[in-house]
Amino acid sequence: MFLVARVFPHSNMRLTATLRLLSFVLLALVVRGEGPSEPCVLDVPVYGPTGSKLAFKITRVAGDGNPNANLLSVHGDGIKFGAAGDRLLFPKALLGRSIVITLEGKGTKGGIITRKVPLFACRQRTSSRWGLNQALGDFSSLAIRGRLSGRTFSGDWWIRSMPMFGAQDYQAVYDGFVQSDGSFWLTGSMAGERLLVVVGKSREPVKTVGVDVAEGKPIDMGAVDLSGHCPK
């Protein structure tokens, strides 16, 4: 007597995806030679354009190169994945690899963020920004201006701007000029979001100021007092 097994295509596809997913995690466990351990933590908070924290949650985690499989569905000895809001628990064995995280926002008109994150520490944080602070006008070259006070401005003074949150995946840092009378300006293709403007001299940062930028709207920071801040 011969037994004939019927193979259902859809079931077979799901099985194949699951096996690939398990092999991704188990390979990491074998390579690192580690057994069950406490999970590591990755926080992936999402902020609005002016720095307010938004309610996004992790809905999918995929191994780099296998975007169709969801690691949140993987369970087994030594394999611990879990997501609560914007916090991910993952096995320590995956350190040194990359994952792709999908976050979905509540009350953001269907906002979805996908981020590729290299895992290099067991306690890690990487932020994102959703949305833009908009105004009418051309924002291809936006200017931030102001005047420093409380110091004499000779020597190697500098000023830089960078997004307060997110921006790990694109170039968004701009240098500006500090004049001998303390006046300064920065120009660049800046998105409408909250920025950190850092003033420094030589190798030391002196003061950091948070600034809300709107697309197409020049920013006047006014006077920035450096009295009491080192270096001289």
> 78-88, pLDDT tens digit by residue?
567 899 999 99
* pLDDT for res 215: 74
User: Do you know the residue count of the chain?
Assistant: 232
Tell me the backbone φ, ψ of residue 30, rounded to 5 degrees. -70, -45
Quickly list DSSP for 66-134: BTTS-GGG--BTTB--EEETTEEEE-GGGTTSEEEEEEEESSSSS-EEEEEEE---SEEE--EE-S--B
Check residues 91 and 170 and name the one with the higher pLDDT: 91
User: For 1-32, how does the pLDDT look when each residue is reduced to its tens digit (9 = 90+)?
Assistant: 333 344 445 545 554 444 454 444 444 444 44
Q: Where are the domains of the chain?
A: 37-129, 142-225
Q: Is the pLDDT of residue 190 over 90?
A: no
- pLDDT, tens digit (0-9, with 9 covering 90-100), for 152-185: 999 999 999 999 998 776 678 899 999 999 999 9
Alpha carbon 9 to chain centroid, angstroms: 39
> Which comes out higher in pLDDT, residue 127 or 37?
127
CB atoms within 10 A of CB 141: 10
One fold for 37-129 and 142-225: yes
Tens-place pLDDT, residues 144-154? 999 999 999 99
Average pLDDT for 75-96 = 84
Cα–Cα nearest to 96, from 124, 129, 69: 124
Which of 16, 10, 119 lies closest to 64, judged by CA? 119
- The predicted pLDDT at position 231 comes to 66
pLDDT at 37 over 80: no
Predicted confidence band of residue 217 (pLDDT cuts 50, 70, 90): confident
- Classify domain 142-225 at the CATH class level: mainly beta
Q: What is d(CA 1, CA 97) in angstroms, rounded to the nearest whole number?
A: 49
pLDDT of residue 141: 64
Rank 31-35, 76-80, 116-120, 137-141 by mean pLDDT and report only the highest.
116-120
Q: Residue 211 to residues 28, 49, 146, 193, 218: CA-CA distances in angstroms?
A: 43, 11, 12, 8, 12
pLDDT of residue 232: 63
37-129: CATH topology is Immunoglobulin-like (2.60.40)
